[in-house]
Amino acid sequence: MLVLPAELTHAQAGACLGMLVQALRRDPDALVVADASATTVFDSSALAVLLGCRREALALGKGFVVRGLHERLASLAQLYGVGELLPAQS
User: pLDDT at residue 90 above 90?
Assistant: no
pLDDT tens digits, residue range 1-31? 999 999 999 999 999 999 999 999 999 999 9
Would you mind telling me the total number of residues written for the chain in this entry? Answer: 90
pTM of the predicted model, to two decimals? 0.95
- Contacts of residue 87, defined as CB under 8 A and 6 or more positions apart, other chains included, come to 64, 65, 66
Q: What domains sit in the chain, N to C, each tagged with a CATH number?
A: 2-85 (3.30.750.24)
Mean pLDDT of 31-45: 97
The neighbour count for residue 6, using CB atoms within 10 Å, is: 10
Residue 65 CA to residue 57 CA, distance in Å, equals 10
